[in-house]
């Protein structure tokens, strides 16, 4: 398999694996996880959502909604977005509405409020809101990174546009761009040691996210989420070790798990993802992710042609 495709597929499948693994222990305390599972390391479903084994949550299905809308618009819609037309952002808003109406297993409060606002008045962003510093915009940005790979300006504009449909807060924006930038580095072949130097430099410019010493908070507050993700991604080179350490922190474990799965999965590529986890994922989710990944990379190719 082509090296970039292997890494991009590692990102998207790693994301879904982290979501499915973490969902079991979402909102649990580390001590509760330890009492119930010892170390939680298998995709077994359950948790507060009573998830079927191998199923994913809003993190993955909302990303798939974004990916589907980008693919539906194709090169033409992306070109028009580049020249200032907002039709693509409206179609992303429409995709979030469709997703919301499909009765997803879960939906964060800020995402729900943003989607309802878009349904009500069609605006592409709400005003700045101090309560919008959750991780909901960051968590679903992977398809925007793939579709704009190789073009810094469009990556930033599309990421912020999709994010602001539901979240308007500088910390949400900074995290969405920062983790997106790290994902872009990893897709072009950055290794474990380069993750560490990237994180050190980025945190100098964005001190709110500094994760050393780690405070062991893994909540849906985007600062806690990013600190947890960077902590375990830089601590462990190995995909499984990084992901197990992350989800056993509990709290927003499906989202921290999805993001670590995405970044560590890019580092190792799809071909080196643990097979027992990959085979547990819902077959149609794996198929949709595989289709979207090559389609989104083709969009990026068209954008840079």
User: Where do contacts with Mn ion occur on this chain (CB under 5 A)?
Assistant: 57-59, 106, 252, 254-255
SS3 for 223? helix
**Shortest CB 251 distance to Mn ion, Å:** 9
For Mn ion, the closer CB: 148 or 162: 162
Residue 179, C-beta contacts closer than 8 angstroms, at least 6 positions apart: 138, 141, 226, 229, 259, 263
**Choice between 106 and 238, CB closer to Mn ion:** 106
- 3-state helix vs strand vs coil in the chain, percent to 5: 70, 0, 30
User: Least distance to Mn ion from the beta carbon of 59, Å?
Assistant: 4
CB 13 within 8 A of CB 258: no
C-alpha closest to that of 260 among 7, 5, 4, 18:
18
Minimum CB distance to Mn ion smaller for 56 or for 233: 56
Cβ 284 to Mn ion shortest distance, Å = 18
Shortest distance, position 264 Cβ to Mn ion, whole Å: 18
Q: CA torsion sign, 259 to 262 to 266 to 267? A: positive
* Residue closest to Mn ion (Cβ): 57
Q: What is the DSSP annotation of 72-133?
A: HHHHHHHHHHHTT--HHHHHHHHHHHHHHHT--S---HHHHHHHHHHHHH--S-----TT--
Name the residue nearer to Mn ion (CB basis): 7 or 280. 280
16 or 300: whose CB is closer to Mn ion?
Answer: 16
3-state secondary structure of 150: coil
Nearest distance from residue 46's CB to Mn ion, in Å? 14
Instruction: Please identify, using beta-carbon distances, which residue of 59 and 173 lies nearer to Mn ion.
Output: 59
The residues, any chain, with a CB within 8 Å of residue 2's CB and separated by 6 or more, are none
Q: How far is the CB of 55 from Mn ion (least distance, A)?
A: 11
């Amino acid at each position: 398999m082509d090296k970039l495709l292997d890494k991009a597929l590692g990102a998207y499948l790693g994301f879904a694996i982290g979501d499915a693994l973490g969902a079991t222990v979402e909102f649990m305390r580390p001590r509760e996880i330890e009492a119930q599972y010892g170390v939680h390391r298998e995709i077994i479903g359950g948790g507060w959502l009573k998830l079927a084994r191998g199923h994913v949550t809003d993190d993955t299905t909302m990303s798939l909604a974004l990916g589907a809308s980008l693919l539906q618009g194709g090169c033409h819609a992306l070109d028009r977005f580049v020249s200032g037309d907002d039709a693509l952002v409206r179609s992303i808003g429409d995709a979030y509405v469709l997703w919301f109406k499909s009765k997803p297993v879960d939906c964060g409060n800020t995402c729900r409020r943003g989607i309802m606002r878009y349904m009500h008045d069609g605006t592409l962003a709400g005003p700045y809101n101090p309560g919008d510093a959750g991780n909901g915009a960051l968590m679903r940005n992977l398809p925007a990174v793939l579709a704009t790979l190789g073009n810094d300006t469009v990556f930033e504009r599309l990421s912020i546009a999709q994010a602001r449909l539901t979240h308007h807060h500088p910390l949400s924006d900074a995290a969405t761009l920062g983790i997106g930038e790290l994902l872009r580095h990893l897709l072009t072949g950055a290794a474990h040691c380069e993750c560490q130097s990237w994180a050190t430099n980025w945190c100098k410019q964005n001190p709110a996210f500094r994760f050393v010493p780690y405070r062991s908070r893994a909540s849906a507050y985007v600062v806690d989420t990013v600190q947890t993700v960077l902590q375990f991604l830089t601590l462990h080179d190995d995909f499984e070790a990084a992901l197990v350490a992350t989800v056993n922190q509990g709290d927003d474990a499906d989202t921290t798990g999805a993001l670590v799965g995405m970044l560590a999965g890019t580092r190792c590529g799809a071909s080196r993802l643990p097979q027992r986890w990959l085979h547990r994922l819902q077959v149609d989710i794996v198929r949709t992710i595989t289709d979207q990944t090559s389609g989104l990379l083709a969009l990026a190719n068209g954008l840079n042609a």
